Amino acid sequence: MKKTIQNLNVLRKLSELIEKVGSEKDLISEETRSFFDEIGQEQEEQKITSTLLTQLQQMNEQMENMHWMNKHYRILHEFAQICSKTLNESVLLQKSYEMVSRVMPTDSFYIALHNPGDAQIQMIFIMDDGEPAPPSTVEFGENYTSKVIKTREIVHLKHRNQNIEYDTKMGEGEQDTRSCLFVPVVMDDQVKGVISAQSYRDFAYRKEHEDLLQMIGAQVINSIETARLYGKIYTMSRTDELTGLKNHRAFHEDLAQLLRNDDGEITVMMIDSDDLKQVNDRFGNDAGDLYLKILADGMKTLCNDKMEGYRYAGDEFMILIKTRIDLGVKDIYYKLKEYYSVHPLIVDDEKITVSISTGVGVYPYNGTTVDALKKAADQALYAAKENGKNRIVVAN
């Protein structure tokens, strides 16, 4: 009878353990082991019981790992959705930190980029004790980031008594981190960068954290590269290749945006060269290109956050004054003339001074749309040409 009761108790206890599989990290407690030790008096029974408990614990760990990864794969999916919807690098970096923080301790965190052969590593995002630190560069050499890039292997420091080769954190905090993950991000068979999470606690990370950090790192760095490539293409699409000024498209987009904002007075200066055809005819198109570059360089000396220069088409240029400024349009015109007088084009020992005619239209007095303002400036430019060139005319 006693043996039967013991068997029933064992079955009941085993049933309870099986129900808990996957829900508790440490399934087999000391109390549970003591219970089976008391029940299993015979040596063979103890051996079977011990084997069974070990198998249950292993099964539990496997289930727990599956639950952990399943939970965090959902986070990866969520992060991928964010990456697909923005090309803003700051947003991508901040979201990557937030995602990693949801998965693992991040008392310190950084993302680094490196191009093969570069002498420096770009630390593009650093968080220390929950506060952002300014981006910086470190020399490629004696540090964990460099080691990971060179070896392509994860560095996992687990506790403070471990042999530490280099400093760990990139932030400015005084407290040393104890657990550190430095994970290479490999894309197209190249190490593109390193992502690192660090904790003040010993043994803060596990193997699954390494894998997850690697996936998040690959996602964010790939998205950053895409965003930067898009930025370059977008800039090129709005930039004149010869002069480096913004182009016709950029002028229309920028002026339309200013008009939508309706922040006050906006001035359009339309500038046309007076002598480009003669320069091309006498000295060739290469000399004509140099003439246009000098014209553009003069405009660049005046450009700032309130004033932008554009090559509109051919030898026609624009200056967009985005708000009311102390300098009048005639002062701007004469500053340009002064620049050209001291920076002539020299061809075959002959000095050629860039000459310009300028027409001006002002919002809202001469028009309230892009086309109306452009037409007003164009008519004023025509008047300047008709009256002998080399002058400025402001629309009535």
Which residue shows structure tokens 């996602």?
Answer: 219
Q: Which of 108-122, 154-168, 339-353 has the lowest mean pLDDT?
A: 154-168
The string of pLDDT tens digits covering residues 179-213 is 999 999 999 899 999 999 999 999 999 888 998 89
Residue range(s) defining the domain that contains residue 43: 2-71
In a domain, 296, yes or no: yes
Q: Are residues 146 and 107 in the same domain?
A: yes
In a domain, 243, yes or no: no
In this structure, what are the phi and psi dihedrals at residue 4, rounded to the nearest 5 degrees?
-65, -45
Residue 253 has pLDDT above 80, yes or no: yes
Q: Is 111 helix (H, G, I), strand (E, B) or coil?
A: strand
Residues 333 and 296 in one domain: yes
The CATH code of the domain that includes 359 is 3.30.70.270
Which of the listed residues 188, 211, 235 is the one where a domain comes to its end?
235
Residue 77, domain member (yes or no): no
Sign of the torsion formed by the C-alpha atoms of 45, 47, 50 and 53: negative
Q: Rounded to an integer, what distance in angstroms lies between the CA atom of residue 322 and that of residue 309?
A: 11
Q: How many domains does the chain have?
A: 3
Task: Give 162's pLDDT tier (boundaries 50, 70, 90).
Answer: confident
Going by their DSSP bridges, the two strands 345-347 and 350-352 should be labelled as: antiparallel
Domain boundary among 184, 201, 235: 235
Same domain, 378 and 264: yes
80 part of a folded domain: no
**pLDDT beyond 60 at 53:** no
Q: Please name which of 298, 296, 323, 322 lies closest in space to residue 311, comparing C-alpha atoms.
A: 296
78 domain-assigned: no
pLDDT of residue 356: 97
Q: 258 and 231: one domain?
A: no
Q: Are residues 215 and 350 in the same domain?
A: no
Q: Clarify whether residues 337 and 378 are in a common domain.
A: yes
CATH code of the domain in which 115 resides: 3.30.450.40
44 and 152, same structural domain? Answer: no
Are 390 and 253 contained in the same domain? yes
Mean pLDDT for all residues in the chain = 85
Residues 227 and 131 in one domain: yes
Does 107 share its domain with 218? yes
Q: Which residue has the tokens 């506790």?
A: 159
Confidence bin at 23 (pLDDT 50/70/90)? low
Question: 350-367 burial, b for 16+ CB within 10 Å, e for fewer?
Answer: eebebbbbbbbbbbeebb
Query: Residue 69 pLDDT > 60, yes or no?
Result: no
Q: If phi over 0 gives left and psi between -120 and 50 gives alpha, with beta otherwise, what is residue 314?
A: left
What pLDDT shows up at residue 207?
A: 87
CB 155 within 8 A of CB 141: no
Q: How far apart are CA 53 and CA 27, in angstroms?
A: 9
Whether 282 is in a domain gets the answer yes
Domain boundary among 193, 211, 235: 235
Question: From the centroid of its chain, how far is CA 17?
Answer: 49
242, part of any domain = no
Strand-pair category, 136-139 with 120-128? antiparallel
Strand order in the sheet with 316-321: 307-313, 316-321, 266-273, 356-363, 392-394
Q: Are residues 306 and 376 in the same domain?
A: yes
Do 253 and 218 fall within a single domain?
Answer: no
Q: Quick one: pLDDT band at residue 381, thresholds 50, 70, 90?
A: very high
Alpha helices in 203-328 (DSSP H): 207-237, 248-261, 276-283, 285-300
Residue 83 lies in a domain: no
Cα separation, 357 vs 388, whole angstroms: 9
